Structure 1
Amino acid sequence: MAEKEGEDAMRYATIRDSQPVLEEREAPQGAARVLAAAINPIDFAIGSGKFFKRAFADGDVLGYSGVAQLADGERVYFQLPQPPAGAFAQQVDLTEAFTAPVPDHLDSPTAAALGVPGIAAVGAVELARTSSLDTVLVTGANGNVGLLAARAALETGAKVVGMVRSAQALEAVRAAGFDGFVTQDPAAPEIADVLAECAPAGVDVVLDQLSGPYVERMMPLLNNRARWVQIGSGARTNANFTTSIFRTKGISMLGYTNFILSDAEARDYYARAAALVEAGAPLPFTTITLDQLPATWAALAAKDTHGKFVVSFE
């Protein structure tokens, strides 16, 4: 495709024939300057045309969320700009997008990385009504949602235990200030014994990003009136459990997604997540340039690399 030239042109990332590419086009009038944009799991759903909130066509700008600077100098976190706009561009039209103020203490890449996982972490802990009386189990505990959710739960005074799949991940969990255990196979029978060692008084809240066959194994360890919160779209689509345990213990099964939040709730949860980071909550990510986006996107899609990546435009 022919590239635009001149001061009014902007570079951006899009999909062509199922592959991410960089192109140029005329910048929209009155657009905000993008400072940073995070690669989130939802971006791959958008790029494949499978995201229910946005129809994506080849040539539209990729990117669900990021941080931009308005004409008056204010920085805002934004989500879901209207097509063909997107976060992976030098400029973005925010006319119809959700925005939230970025606290001064956050640099732009951190503010962009925080958005989706931070809102989800705080929102899930809020949904579970976590308190100082609770023992909380976090699955996928070494990811950004898990680390931030654990910190949000610790802020309530709860005891927190994390489930991870490697010794390196367990080190990250312990460094973040909470206990954890390793399991290569969450569906294995011995997981109940391992969890019982970490939570001898039982579990009151499960913040679950994975789901799957281990739900059945963990049910006997849940206390009466426990709350099981399933977070996000990365989990397996099915989980089996014994209905008599679910019923007789009065267990609540709760689904959580950022997409059903009001704008006021999302802004509140973003601000609270930012406060967690300011207080020392870990938020690991890698900064890349726009030129590095296509290769990084391909590696993430192929699962050749893992982790959080943020495109910086500064």
Structure 2
Amino acid sequence: MDKNSKIYVAGHRGLVGSAIVRNLKQKGFTNIIGKTHLELDLKNQASVRKFFEEEEPEYVFLAAAHVGGISANNTCPADFIYENMEIQNNVIKACHDFKVKKLLFLGSSCIYPKMCLQPIKEEYLLSGYLEETNEGYAIAKIAGLKMCQFFKRQFDDNFISCMPTNLYGPNDNFNLKTSHVMPALIRKFHEAKINNEPFVEIWGTGKPLREFLYVDDMADGCVFLMENYDGEEHVNIGTGKEVTIRCLAEIIKDVVGYDGEIKFNIDKPDGTPRKLLDVSKLEGLGWKYKVNLENGIISNYQWFKENYK
């Protein structure tokens, strides 16, 4: 990409999209396009095609998605599969029809089987059953990844995909009904602290292992792939390190400064028992994460406090 290349970041206000915009600006890219949902509904095919025809973006980061945590995925699976398929189908096909130079599609590590071999290599995709609680979202993301592969194979479109691990950072969703585990815990501990609550309840046993990547590292990895990778196979983006939910809760508790207890509700689902990505492919290309977990949580909590209201 040239510094003045026209770059469209779909989902530029979201967790990942906003980080990609920050990273591009830091690197000196000046011609970045972003449209809010009110300005451009990506679920509307006619609107998407009109946008691509008029704006003619050269490079596209597809970071827009309908996302949520275990509860939201489990409660509204039809919404997750349908809306994500709409977004993906419209944008990917428009990138093909209007001859975009390169597209980067962002998936999710939930595309891998629930009981997958660890750490998870890219080649393990479709080797087993998915986690039931987010199956709708996962199937949509698998379809998007395969669409990119097949458009590349059939038409030689330069469409690539990356699969991030669990992400966190500025502009995350802190709604307790729809958020992922990291922002949910930050908000729970913060509110328990200011309300002098005796304990914080956390879903599950606390035993599942998770990998977390600070979103600005994720964005840097995305821009790196856009400039350095043209392969058909998707690429994992992560740290290669994992932590239990219990340990994560203890770290957040310390960062927030909460003095109460932690109680685990074992009647609630744990989700996938372990989900660690093999990131050797990306590291082999020359990229590695920079922000460690504790520093990332400290930064994220500071952002949350400044934007809490």
TM-score (structure 1 length as normaliser): 0.33
Larger Rg: 1
Give the number of the structure whose residues are more often strand, by fraction: 1
Higher relative contact order at CA 8 Å, sep ≥6: structure 1 or structure 2? 2
